[in-house]
Amino acid sequence: MASAVSETEPAARRTSLYDFHLAHGGKLVPFAGWSMPLSYPSLTHIQSHMHTRTHASLFDVSHMLQTRWTGRHAIEFMERLVVGDIQGLAPSGAATLSLFTTAAGGILDDTVIQRVGENELYVVSNAGCADKDLAHIHAQLAEFTSAGDKDVRVQVMDGHSLVALQGPTAVSVVEELAGTSLAGLKFMHGAGIKLKGIHTHVTRCGYTGEDGVEISVKHGDAPALAELLVKHKEVELAGLGARDSLRLEAGLCLYGHDMDESVSPVEASLLWTIGARKITFAAAPKPTFLGAEHILSQIGGPITKRRVGLIVAGAPAREGAQVVDLATNQVIGKVTSGVPSPVLKKNIAMAYVKGGFHKSGTEVGVVVRGKTQKATVSKMPFVPQNYYRG
């Protein structure tokens, strides 16, 4: 996570909820070029984390990049850029977590792609990658359209905010505001919904491992919507601190830490994001998404490193801590994220380790403050995910 410095740093952009955060006592810190709330005075970090696991918490995620892709060839174009099966998404609002990849097979960014029409996509990607993503998309679009008459438009939704309401009671809160049941809104599906007269687009997804929604709303309506949500007895405000420990318990990556352009989806243990029809072999048609040849060659084959979970004994292992072979003390990897788990009351971490050390139950060492502590490779998520499967 970005280090905390003055909220007045000139480079930090402000979301439409900046004044809302100040009014509620939010501690604002620079994050991915934005001034974002780290925490609020109403709850400690652990209390905020546990409130999300048991009730509902409201997160401002307006720093994320929202784009709308339209045109007869929008789906075809997206298929070239990501590993997921976008063509296979139902045009009635089905979504998938996917990865933008480079020609060399690295991960450019992670993204949620939702098909909201036959030839229309709603896409959310990371704030810290926004400039890089847009440059990549436009460069690839220029190449794509130069090959013939292609109809694709990519529009930045710079007039929209995004908030996430997460936790086991989050959807019931939204149902009260909507005046209707959301039982038919499946996990990773979205729809346009009015909340107390405010037009929104609600997607049943999130970054905490709990049931919940992300709500896209016009900037001008965002503060009023946030006030409506936070006034509910089930809802508390939450910031980046709780968001980080929640996502790590859920085994979810943070771009720039647990994955980047130097690792492939296979090395990042994200093989499940690759659409089944894109996992092709020698006899099949040549794959068309960027980096496919390199990525698909790693499936079932030896790879030099792999992302794993760790349960760490002793002090917490933070990003950058070396992972070593207990038998030889040789460095075999590096921690990319680490926190004390409020639910497990144990220290957990993600790391990349050399092939052969990635199997669950393997004991390794982690160097913390010059001392080697034992750690055990663990399956992820560390805490069971509670996504809605109705």
What sign does the dihedral 38-42-43-48 (CA atoms) show?
negative
Q: How far is CA 141 from CA 266, 276, 342, in A?
A: 26, 25, 45
In this structure, are strands 120-125 and 198-203 parallel, antiparallel, or unpaired? unpaired
Between helix 45-54 and helix 240-249 the angle, nearest 10°, is 60
**E-state strands within the chain:** 13-14, 27-31, 34-39, 56-60, 65-70, 95-101, 107-117, 120-125, 153-156, 160-166, 190-195, 198-203, 212-218, 235-237, 305-312, 322-324, 331-341, 346-354, 363-368, 371-378
Q: How far is CA 252 from CA 9, 270, 319, 378, in A?
A: 29, 10, 15, 14
Q: Which residues are annotated as a binding site for substrate?
A: 214
In this structure, are strands 27-31 and 65-70 parallel, antiparallel, or unpaired? unpaired
Per the CB < 8 A criterion, the answer to whether 321 and 335 are in contact is yes
Tokens 């998938």 — which residue?
96
Q: Which bin fits 184, alpha (ψ -120 to 50), beta or left (φ > 0)?
A: alpha
Q: How far is CA 59 from CA 38, 145, 236, 238, in A?
A: 10, 38, 9, 5
Q: Which residues are annotated as a binding site?
A: 214
Tokens 């410095």 — which residue?
5
DSSP assignments along 32-101, one per residue = TTEEEEEE-TTS-HHHHHHHHHHSEEEEE-TTSEEEEEESTTHHHHHHHHBSS-STTS-TTTBEEEEEEE
User: Coil, strand or helix: which one is 128?
Assistant: helix
